[in-house]
Amino acid sequence: MLNAVVTDFKALGEEIVTTLDARLKPVQQYLNADNLIEIQQNSFDDIFETLINDVDAVLLIAPESENTLFNLARQVEKAGKRLIGPSSDAIRIATNKAETHRKALDAHVLVPSAIRVGFSEKQEIIDKICQQIGYPVVFKPIDGVGGSGICIVANQKNIGAGLETVQKETTLDTFQIQKYINGLDVSVSAIVSQREVRPISLNAQLVRLAPPGQQSEYQGGYLPISHTLREEAFQNSQKILEHIEGFQGYVGIDFVFSYAPFLIEINPRITTSYIGLREVLSPNPARLILDALQGEIPSKITLTGAAVFSKLELATEIKSLTIPPEFQMKIKISTPPFPHQGSTTIFLVALGSTVNSAQQTLTSFINYMKKIYNL
């Protein structure tokens, strides 16, 4: 995702400075930044403070856990520099699942039933709460990010393990019990200015919600999709983002489509869907983001073709990857090969005229990879 953002803003003629964890040194060669600052252990705070003073604006790609994204945004604001993204106040609300739930109810946006509960509560009481909501339920950290700490609790027997799973991923003494909604996981990508909230794409998400003790995870997605609930999801995205002050630039809103769109959470940052969206969107999404910060969103925004994006795990270590000629225009490497302890992780984007054709291309390329590396 970092390289996608760097490439898009650099294409506008902007000079780009970015930081990168020293442990990710193998991917440095793929980054197109004008200046890349390698971050050694415990050196980020001092370097970030210096960089803020040397730049005109800051776009944050940071985790929402432990208030990291909020704290960095607040630091940029205090330095008087332009934040390319939501304000720290908007981030504070969006990264608190209980607060987001309350704001959604205030805005008359449908959300799953949810209750905030203390870890000190007796399991018998928690069981009664789960019965009140209706099993199965989802245990999730209020301050969590991604799938960390989220698990499906099917019955009373899973409560103890569910509590352990959530507690490992939160700094709070409370968590959220939420009704499990069975349906299609989607997200809405929106561009937000002071004058307008413009949903621009509906994206399918491949999300695996696991039982206690296993890792829930985001595995990728595809876009754009059509659905009978699309317009209602777009309208609800507008409602919630207009109700909470401080959103600007690119925002992702997660829903589950059941008999209606249920709002799950707001992502106050560039989301993974960006790596697929940028391949089918015109104009350049970086242009849209900067224009939105100036108060204007172009009237004409078009999506051409489709993209499927997916994480690929290889059971071998590779340090580089060359796309063969037959896949050159159809496969993009979003996250370059990252070898670690006998395996390699790659994030790929496959393109096509339709989602089905893009998925076929991705499947063909994965089969090619397996053949080349004897997997």
- pLDDT tens for 315-325 read 888 888 889 99
For residue 67, name the pLDDT band (cuts at 50, 70, 90). confident
Q: Report whether 268 contacts 87 (CB < 8 A).
A: no
pLDDT confidence of residue 148: 83
pLDDT confidence of residue 375: 67
What pLDDT digit, counting tens, does each position of 91-140 carry? 999 999 999 999 999 999 999 999 999 999 999 999 999 999 999 999 99
What pLDDT digit, counting tens, does each position of 20-52 carry? 888 777 677 778 888 888 888 788 888 999 999
Q: Report whether 191 contacts 292 (CB < 8 A).
A: yes
Q: How many CB atoms lie within 10 A of CB 241?
A: 26
Q: Which amino acid is at 63?
A: P
Region of poorest pLDDT, from 15-19, 28-32, 358-362: 28-32
Among 150, 271, 144, CA closest to 220: 271
Residue 159 pLDDT > 80: yes
What are the residues facing 281 on neighbouring strands?
Answer: 303
Average pLDDT of the segment spanning 336-343: 80
For residue 145, name the pLDDT band (cuts at 50, 70, 90). confident
Among 196, 345, 354, 191, CA closest to 283: 191
Q: Which amino acid is at 72?
A: L
Task: Reply yes or no: is the peptide bond before residue 224 cis, omega within 30 of 0.
Answer: yes
Assigned token pair, 369: 């990879």
pLDDT confidence of residue 374: 74
Domains of the chain: 2-92 (3.40.50.20), 113-179 (3.30.1490.20), 182-303 (3.30.470.20), 306-372 (3.30.70)
Residue 210 pLDDT > 90: no
Dump strand ranges (E) for the chain. Answer: 17-21, 35-39, 57-58, 82-83, 114-118, 137-140, 151-153, 174-179, 184-192, 197-208, 217-223, 249-257, 261-267, 281-282, 302-303, 306-314, 331-340, 343-352
pLDDT confidence of residue 322: 84
DSSP-based three-state secondary structure for 72: helix
Can you tell me which residue has the tokens 């908007």? 90
- Residues 6+ positions from 319 with CB-CB distance below 8 Å: 26, 337, 339
Residue 288 CA to residue 266 CA, distance in Å, equals: 19
